[in-house]
Amino acid sequence: MKKYCSLFLIAFSIISFAQGINFTQNSWDATLKQAEKENKLIFVDAYASWCGPCKLMAKNIFTQKEVGDFYNSSFVNAKLDMEKGEGIDFAKKYRVQSYPMFLFINNKGEVVHRGVGYMEASDFITLGTKAKTAIQDFKQLEEAKTKGTLTQEESLQYFSTLLAEDRAKAKKFSEEYFAKKTNSAYTPNEISMMLSVVESPKDANFIKFRKDRAIIEKIFPKNQLDGFEKSIIIRGVLMESLTADKRNIDEKIFLSKLSPYYNPIEANAILLDYKMQRALREGNITDYTELSQKVYANTQNKSSEELNSVAWTYYEKVSDPAALKQAIRWAEESVKKSENYANTDTLANLYMKIGDKKNAKFWALKSIALAKTNNQDFESTQKLLDSIK
């Protein structure tokens, strides 16, 4: 009887497995060879063990019969943990930065289509359907590009496909597209195509962006564009200001290179912020604390998110009681600007760190209430609250 039950359970597990996606256990090289032999694309579930949506896809979507039927007949299916084994190099090569990411790769190792995030079964099957037609679609787009007959929509589609595989080619195509653009009207997708490949203030697309900034501001929020422009300028100036050993910057050159874009007060503030971030990256908490006190001396022009971020960094890295009290003031200012789960949770943790359990409990309760209202996870805050005696 025991033997019969065991065989029954094995048979049941095989049937259940067959109803979902069958993932190969082969190495990546062997998977590429299998795809070539079967003349199929490879579907890769690029996941991380800590990723909640990844687990939901594996539990709720990959196991469905209709999903399994489609993917098993259409692709060679592989799962790779991006933080273990072959997944580490895979993530670097294919620029996997969000999870779950779904990649469709040909037997030459080239990405032809990709998707990201949790999706329902019907959308997931649609994603696979688009991947199957992506190769032929791209060939047609290549032919249209050669003939010079790409429409605006086709240009955007062609760029998106290029960007998934070869950023340098995508950048070149984008710059050529905007160099030929004669009208001053922009769509949101065009702006994304322009800005997504900008790396330096000297890039043609960045120069075009600054020239047409007033027009683009009618489509994208000014504060977002300000942040983008500043980040590109600073990145370029930093690269031009590196010392010979590439380990630091020449501050005089840095300020000089910033002068075409910012006045002396603004430029010095940017330099101070850079030095603060560098101290944090290098683990020099003494210098970081000193510099951050200067950077955040005036909070009037700092956003709620910025203030909460520096306050949380103090919670994680700083132990000096006086500095922690300053962090509490920043977190309180963050709450005044925009009360939310994140900054109230920061306040609860900071108060707990300095031993003020009364205020820690008050802010933990408020934080949990906000999380419940907005359907946010508050497990860590609940643990904090439970620890208060």
Catalytic residues: 51, 54
What lies within 8 Å, CB to CB, of 27 at 6+ separation is 86
Alpha helices in the chain (DSSP H): 2-18, 28-38, 52-56, 65-74, 86-93, 121-147, 152-165, 167-180, 188-195, 204-211, 213-216, 222-240, 251-258, 264-281, 285-295, 304-317, 321-337, 341-353, 357-373, 379-387
What residue type is 250 in one-letter code?
D
Nearest to 309 by CA among 288, 334, 329, 287: 334
What residue type is 149 in one-letter code?
T
Q: Kindly state the tokens that stand for 347.
A: 């306040």
Q: Are the CB atoms for 313 and 283 separated by under 8 Å?
A: no
Q: Report the half-sphere exposure of 42 (CA within 13 A, side-chain side).
A: 27
Question: What is the distance between the alpha carbons of residues 4 and 1, in angstroms, rounded to a whole number?
Answer: 5
**CB burial class (10 A; 0-12, 13-18, 19+) of residue 246?**
exposed
